[in-house]
């Protein structure tokens, strides 16, 4: 009898969940764009060894030798990445490289994968498995140069494929585009054959493997005229294909001209320095970060497609900054990631961040991933990753700074009818901040989504109290009160249930009487 009644007891809960799922479905109807992604950046050779049969020349004791990471290793960890909230993966170059090119930037053959990483079939499987999980794949594409001992150098038919060997001198554009960076053979993209070869190869990989984007290496070392044609041709192959450029410059105005050439977004180097400085230790102002957003907003056509990041394979790890400042990395990372995940731009997280991996300059910043658990940091990243996906305002909304003083910042994100308020206490003391109702709305409440804080408007203001080196993400909502429609629905269900019990009891009693 108990089993027969169980579904009836569950009706109120199913009804409640039905109301919630209706709201979720409304959000999901919006078309997914690149500003909705959260990117995990990994070095293929240094991430995970899933297939020891391709461990050619592996030497774990040599930081400049192959370490064994491969496509199978990434496939094995797709659920690990998805569970943390990542929706896209950016891989270092996978094309066949010269010996010693574990990093992928010494291209030997643009039309096949490196043997150390796996076969073309295995890479296609990686893309397919990622897509099954609704995750996108971004490949690093190098159009500026090839490996130091490229066979093309000895091919007389390709004599005009390279610029004359000379170093880059100063910041003159001609020298930047024609000089050999790190003594690597510099391709002459003004040569129609070179241009066609590179563009054809880029289009071929999209058609063959169904990848979703390219991260473009050393963009400023290649003529803008090439990028205009490259962008147009590549985007003609697949709808919504994303181009993320690397222009290592502190000047957004310099970067902007490459956006005009058709590159969608850029790893935001001008923001990187201020980000690292702000979050390496407490009691550092966050004001400059919001100034940088105002600059980006007034510079780029699509500032929301920029990629914000704290470290990568070309600089010492952010954890090292914290260690040198004698700070606890887990705490500092949580604050920094909160900013990264709740402000406009696409968050890009370097592999190992989830375990606060340490490392100095190259190659120490490219250590092999060991997947040791840092549960607090992983749980925190998972939570803010969920909130970023659940709340459109964090991905698409406007941003307005409401308060900033010596590292205590409060800002709001607004999108359609949704208002999210983020408070980051980057100071060494508990902070109490009063936000006037006019900056939000009158007679509402702020519901904390990280720590379950609740702030109700009172006397024309919202009083927010945040512990030292902590953050909170609030949703602005109506003040909590009785939900009359829901209570009425529950009452109806229980009255119906009690009537059913009474009728069942009466029927049972009648049957027993007849048996007598």
Q: Tens of pLDDT along 231-269? A: 999 999 999 999 999 999 999 999 999 999 999 999 999
Tell me how far apart the alpha carbons of residues 272 and 489 are, in angstroms, rounded to a whole number. 52
What confidence tier does 495 reach under pLDDT thresholds 50, 70, 90? confident
Question: In this structure, how many other beta carbons lie within 10 angstroms of the beta carbon of residue 442?
Answer: 9
Q: What is the Cα 184 distance to its own chain's centre?
A: 31
Hey, which residues are catalytic here?
A: 217, 246
Please, what is the average pLDDT of the chain? 91
* Calpha distance 387→455 (Å, rounded): 19
DSSP characters over 447-463: EESSS--EEE-BTTEEE
Mean of the pLDDT values across residues 72-86? Answer: 98
Task: In whole angstroms, give the CA distance from residue 68 to residue 116.
Answer: 7
- pTM of the predicted protein model: 0.89
- Cα separation, 506 vs 119, in Å, equals 72
Tell me how far CA of residue 162 lies from CA of 150, 166, 194, 226, 411, in angstroms: 11, 11, 9, 15, 50
Q: Where are the alpha helices (DSSP H) in 152-286?
A: 173-178, 192-209, 224-235, 252-259, 269-279
Name the CATH code of domain 34-392 (choices 3.40.50.300, 3.30.1330.40, 3.20.20.80, 1.20.120.790). Answer: 3.20.20.80
Q: Where are the chain's structural domains? A: 34-392, 399-478
CB 252 within 8 A of CB 273: no
Q: Does domain 399-478 have CATH number 2.60.40.1180?
A: yes
pLDDT above 70: percentage of residues in the chain: 88
Mean pLDDT of 398-426: 98
Peptide bond into 426 cis (omega under 30): no
Consecutive H or E run containing 403: strand 398-405
Band of pLDDT at residue 3, cut at 50, 70 and 90:
very low
Element (H, E) at 5: helix 2-28
Task: Give which of 15, 2, 220, 208 is closest to 113, Cα–Cα.
Answer: 208
Is residue 106 over pLDDT 60?
yes
CB atoms within 10 A of CB 1: 7
Between these two residues, 17 and 139, which has the higher pLDDT value? Answer: 139
pLDDT tens digits, 177-219: 999 999 999 999 999 999 999 999 999 999 999 999 999 999 9
Q: What stretches of 133-184 show up as alpha helix (H) in DSSP?
A: 173-178
Distances (CA, A) of 440 to 119, 416, 447, 462: 55, 14, 13, 9
């Amino acid at each position: 009898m108990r089993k027969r009644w169980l579904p009836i007891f569950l009706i109120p809960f199913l009804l409640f969940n039905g109301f919630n799922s209706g709201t979720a479905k409304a959000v999901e109807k919006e078309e997914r764009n690149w500003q909705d992604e959260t990117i995990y950046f990994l070095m293929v050779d240094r991430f995970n060894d899933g297939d020891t049969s391709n461990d050619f020349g592996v030497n774990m004791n040599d930081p400049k030798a192959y370490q064994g990471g491969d496509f199978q290793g990434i496939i094995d960890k797709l659920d690990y990445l998805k569970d943390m909230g990542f929706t896209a993966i950016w891989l270092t170059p996978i094309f066949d490289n010269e010996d010693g090119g574990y990093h992928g930037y010494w291209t030997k053959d643009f039309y096949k994968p490196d043997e150390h990483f796996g076969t073309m079939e295995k890479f296609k499987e990686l893309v397919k498995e990622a897509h099954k999980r609704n995750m996108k794949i971004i490949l690093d594409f190098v159009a500026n140069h090839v490996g130091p001992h490229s066979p093309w150098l000895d091919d007389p038919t390709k004599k005009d494929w390279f610029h004359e060997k000379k170093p880059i001198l100063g910041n003159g554009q001609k020298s930047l585009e024609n000089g050999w960076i790190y003594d690597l053979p510099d391709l002459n993209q003004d040569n129609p054959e070179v241009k066609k070869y590179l563009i054809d190869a880029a289009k071929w990989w999209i058609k063959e493997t169904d990848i979703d984007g390219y991260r473009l290496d050393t963009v400023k070392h290649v003529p803008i005229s090439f990028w205009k044609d490259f962008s147009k041709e590549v985007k003609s192959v697949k709808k919504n294909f994303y181009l993320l450029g690397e222009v290592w410059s502190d000047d957004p105005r310099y970067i902007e001209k490459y956006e005009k050439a058709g590159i969608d977004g850029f790893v935001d180097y001008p923001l990187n320095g201020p980000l690292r400085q702000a979050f390496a230790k407490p009691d550092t102002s966050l004001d400059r970060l919001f100034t940088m957003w105002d600059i980006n907003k007034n510079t780029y056509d699509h500032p929301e497609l920029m990629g914000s990041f704290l470290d990568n394979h070309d600089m010492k790890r952010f954890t090292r900054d914290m260690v040198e400042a004698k700070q606890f990395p887990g705490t500092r990372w949580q604050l920094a990631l909160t900013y990264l995940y709740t402000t406009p731009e696409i968050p890009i997280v370097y592999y190992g961040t989830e375990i606060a991996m340490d490392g100095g300059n190259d190659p120490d910043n490219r250590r092999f991933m060991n997947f040791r658990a840092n549960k607090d940091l992983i749980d925190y990243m998972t939570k803010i990753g969920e909130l970023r996906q659940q709340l459109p305002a964090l991905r698409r909304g406007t941003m307005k700074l409401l308060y900033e003083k010596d590292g205590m910042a409060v800002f709001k994100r607004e999108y359609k009818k949704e208002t999210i308020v983020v408070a980051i206490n980057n100071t060494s003391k508990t902070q109490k901040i009063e936000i006037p109702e006019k900056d939000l709305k009158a007679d509402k409440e702020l519901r904390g989504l990280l720590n379950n804080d609740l702030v109700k408007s009172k006397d024309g203001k919202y009083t927010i109290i945040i512990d030292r080196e902590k953050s909170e993400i609030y949703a602005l909502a109506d003040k909590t009160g009785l939900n009359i429609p829901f209570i009425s629905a529950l009452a109806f269900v229980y009255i119906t249930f009690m009537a059913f019990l009474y009728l069942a009891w009466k029927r049972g009693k009648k049957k027993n009487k007849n048996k007598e």
